[in-house]
Amino acid sequence: MTRQQLIAQIRKKRSYLCVGLDTDRTKIPAHLQGHADPVFEFNRQIIDATKDHCVAYKINTAFYEADGVKGWETMERTVRYIPRDHFKIADAKRGDIGNTSTQYAKAFFETMPFDAITVAPYMGSDSVQPFLAYKDKWTILLGLTSNAGAADFELQQAGEGLLYEKVLRTASGWGSTENLMFVVGATKPEWFGKIRALTPDHFYLVPGVGAQGGSLKEISVKAMNKDVGLLVNVGRDIIFSGKGEDFAEKAEAKAREYAMEMSGYLK
């Protein structure tokens, strides 16, 4: 998916919502547990219920990899079920020496039809370039994350600024605003002004809204640019908003609520 196609979907739906399919098998409603593939059946109904309110889905691969071969099959079925006009993110946080990253890129961009993958920048440019080499695919680089442990490295002094700032400045030159995004956690809204100044035109994938307590309003006011420039991910607060047979209806209502709030912030 190109940048212009993504922006067009955001403008059309007046939403920059990304639904996180971090599907924990133990939290799936009881009536689905006897299904041949309960995780896929849950995801299918969530997708059907929320697709009109979001522009993207993010699959956290760990929740699928934990189930081995069956989990990988479920993940592939899920990503292929997502409508083609939705942005599909593999939240895999890969990144290794070049020939290994090449295989990771092939797995998620060729074997599976993801539009984007999250990548860790620690090993430098040669570990990221294989992902950036794909046309109309996106690399989403970890910038400033929402976890408490971000203070261990990301917020430490590195030269004239903090380490996360060095990552943003350096990595911006590896790709372009057409194929490179950054992960910026919603639980650190006070940093968004500086981050937007460093990367004025890039898109951000913003986790941490909802169950983690991030403020959608604060993020939208501080980080939106002329092209919106945001994909705000909400996972548990949407997909597990209902525990019974009406779980999909509850998810639809919650996704609609987020989308309506987003519509009010759009410029």
- Catalytic one of 27, 70, 88, 93: 93
> How far apart, in whole angstroms, are the C-alpha atoms of residue 201 and residue 215?
22
* Beta-carbon contacts of residue 70 (< 8 Å; ≥ 6 apart): 37
Decide if 226 is catalytic.
no
192 phi-psi bin (left φ>0, alpha ψ -120 to 50, beta other): alpha
CA 26 to the chain's CA centroid: 22
Phi, psi of 209 (to 5 degrees): -85, 140
> How far apart, in whole angstroms, are the C-alpha atoms of residue 110 and residue 115?
10
> How far apart, in whole angstroms, are the C-alpha atoms of residue 57 and residue 234?
9
The pairs formed by 65-70 with CB atoms below 8 angstroms and a separation of 24 or more are 67/25, 67/39, 70/37
Nearest to 86 by CA among 52, 41, 61, 55: 55
C-alpha atoms less than 13 angstroms from C-alpha of 254 in its C-beta half-sphere: 22
DSSP element (H, E) containing 76: helix 68-81
> How far apart, in whole angstroms, are the C-alpha atoms of residue 55 and residue 35?
28
Q: What is the DSSP letter of 182?
A: E
Residue at 160: amino acid letter = E
Active site residues: 93
